[in-house]
A = this chain, B = another copy of it.
Amino acid sequence: MVQLNGWIEFQRMNKFITLRDAYGSTQLFISDNRTDLIEIIKDLPYESVICVVGMVNMRPEGQINKKMKTGDIEILVDSIKVLNKASEHLPFSIRQFNKAKEVTQMKYRYLALRYPEIQKNLRIRSKLLMKMREYLINECDFVDVETPTLFKNTPGGAQEFIVPTRHPGKFYSLVQSPQQFKQLLMVGGIDRYFQIARCYRDESARHDRQPEFTQLDIEMSFVDQEGIIDLIENLLKYSWPETITTPFKRLTYEDAMKLYGTDQPDLRIPYEIQYLTKFVNMATLEKDMKLTNSKDCEVCALVFPNKCKYLTRSVREEFNDIKNKYFPTVKLFQIKTLDNSWKLQLEKLFSTKIAEDIIRTLNLNIGDVLFLTVGPKLNSQKLLGKFRIEFTNVLENNNLKIRSPGYNFLWLINFPLFEVNESQLLESMHHPFTQPHPKDMKYLETEPEKVRGLHYDLILNGSEIGGGSIRIHDTNLQKQIFKMLNINEKQLSHMLEALSSGAPPHGGIALGLDRLLCILCNAEGIRNVIAFPKTIEGRDLMSEAPVPIPTEVQELYHIKIIDERSNI
């Protein structure tokens, strides 16, 4: 005799019941002569919870269900106890073939959690995190340290949520990452720290972001870039459910932009950007095309061999819209090498000789798609980088297999330390604690844009899943960087004092677990690997949070709500 507790997923003829529990489904069988059981089951709503006792029998020959894990057995029911009757009218039923809309799933999340996919994803998540902990603690002697989330606002970086306190006018900020704490732990002599840390960012709506998210946060003392890269490769190798090959490929930021037009290249796509500038007389071209800013103009090309028929009118229009919206300074030519008009077009653009050089270089044949750009280098790269992804999606939506299968990990290294913002001021490309590349220290005062940082990003299948750096451990260098970035050092005086208290050389990394799991689980979005996700607007549809608060709570925290609507 076995006992099973679970949910009635389905029944037919008051005879065959599919009972679902946390581990899968099992078929129950009620004998025709057990009218007592039939009486219990016949009007019991689906999703009611029952406790069943019965005998495990092999199913009769013709009734074996090979699609079901337990498809070769059934339980001959001896007794049924109804533990909790479900309501007759649930918002949706738990059937894979007729899934509820995402908003409905979010409103009744406790029901959606019963979908086998979400059950599976949450279990994979739990297991992966456990393997990571095992590797770090048991194999590498790391210390799991919990750091506060109620802290002080960090200058620069993302918008942080604020938390009013009973001290009038004084607020905590919810940390956007444990960055400061992990560095302070290094100063404090916890030389191998990790934490699976909750982080908070109040950033604008994006599909793969949540107001709170989780990262695997790591920091080590007496380590260099190779040490961190090595650790992470071994960590992933240890914890990943499938075999992965190390070492991972590496690309410099410069090469990534050059070949793929992005710092998150998806190397599963075989196409690369090519450069034709050397064949061309740029001066003539600029005049012909009336290019305004000719300083760093390039002629770039991206070829999709033999994919002509997928460049339909609507795709072309969509691609033109992208260009016009985001990269208006780039001239774009979308060419199908189908009849002979394309050669004439190239000859007209350049010259016969140059057109021939280009055709030879790009190895163009009949039936290819050629995206050709003339314009400022960076924008041309980014535009073609975007087409590289988008046109691959077009091809895959047409059932072509372009991306190679499996998990493609990639390190991106040698990022610039700074970027220049719209006001022509320096900003950190990542954060102000990143150590400049030792070979570029000589440019720090004179040509800061040329300085690379000891920063590294980890890319998986074209998504950034992690990033880190070797940090500055010298107080004076840190002060200099704050100054260059117009950061008031008083706001970070505790960090400067810590660096002058015997700070070891140190570095670290953080992996974004939601996105990592989304890729590992092959989920549609990160909301499918999170138990209780919020909408892009940050709403919890189940409880309706955020909600209004009573006046007395406002008074407790010394705040008053300003409602613009009341000012009309």
Determine whether the beta carbon of A49 is less than 8 Å from that of B546. no
0/1 interface trace, chain A 540-558, chain B, CB 8 Å (1 if under): 1011111111000101111
Which residues from B are CB-within-8-Å of A152? 540, 543-547
Interface flag for A122 (CB, 8 Å): yes
**A161 to B425 Cα, complex, angstroms:** 37
Given contacts A144-B126, A172-B545, A503-B84, contact A110 B188 (CB under 8 A): yes
Stretch at the interface among A60-68, A315-323, A426-434, A492-500: A492-500
* Closest beta carbon of chain B to A160's beta carbon, Å: 9
Q: Is A150 touching B212 in the complex (CB atoms < 8 A)?
A: yes
CA distance A553 to B123 in the complex (A): 39
Contacts known (A504-B84, A546-B167, A559-B559); A127 close to B137, Cβ less than 8 A: yes
Picked from B20, B166, B542, the residue with its CB within 8 Å of the CB of A202 is B166
Give the segment of A189-197, A253-261, A342-350, A456-464 that binds chain B: A189-197
Does A190 contact B122, Cβ atoms closer than 8 Å? yes
Interface size on A (CB < 8 Å)? 117
Set B47, B500, B558: member contacting A564, Cβ < 8 A: B558
Chain B residues with CB below 8 A from A151, complex form: 540, 543, 545
Distance in angstroms between the alpha carbons of A170 and B211 in the assembled complex? 15
In the bound complex, how far is the Cα of B404 from the Cα of A419, in angstroms?
65
CA distance A107 to B99 in the complex (A): 54
Q: Identify which of residues 278-336 in chain A touch chain B, using a CB-to-CB cut-off of 8 Å.
A: none
Q: Is B109 in contact with A184, judged by CB distance below 8 angstroms? A: yes
Q: Is A145 an interface residue (CB 8 A)?
A: yes
Q: Could you say which residues of chain B place their CB within 8 Å of the CB of A149?
A: 149, 198, 212
- Among B130, B168, B169, B502, the residue within 8 A (CB) of A86 is B502
List residues of A (139-171) whose CB comes within 8 Å of B's CBs: 142-153, 159, 161-171
Is the pair A164, B162 in contact by a Cβ cutoff of 8 Å? yes
For residue A5, CB closer than 8 A to chain B, the reply is yes
A7 at the interface (CB under 8 A from B): yes
Nearest CB in chain B to that of A503: its residue = B84
Q: Which of B21, B161, B184 contacts A110 (CB 8 A)?
A: B184
The segment from A379-387, A410-418, A531-539 found at the interface with B is: A531-539
Is A479's beta carbon under 8 Å from chain B?
no
Query: A residues bordering B, Cβ < 8 Å?
Result: 5, 7, 20-22, 47-49, 51, 83-84, 86-87, 90, 108-114, 119, 122-123, 125-127, 129-130, 133-134, 137-138, 142-153, 159, 161-174, 180-181, 184-185, 187-192, 198, 200, 202, 211-212, 214, 221-222, 473-474, 494, 497-505, 530-532, 534, 537-538, 540, 542-549, 553, 555-565
Instruction: List 3 A-B pairs, minimum CB-CB distance, nearest first.
Output: A113-B188, A152-B545, A170-B546
- Give 26 pairs: A residue, B residue, CB < 8 Å, sorted on A: A47-B501, A47-B502, A49-B505, A84-B473, A109-B184, A110-B187, A111-B187, A111-B501, A113-B184, A113-B188, A122-B145, A122-B190, A126-B144, A130-B138, A130-B144, A146-B214, A147-B531, A150-B540, A152-B540, A152-B543, A162-B549, A170-B548, A172-B546, A181-B531, A184-B532, A494-B543
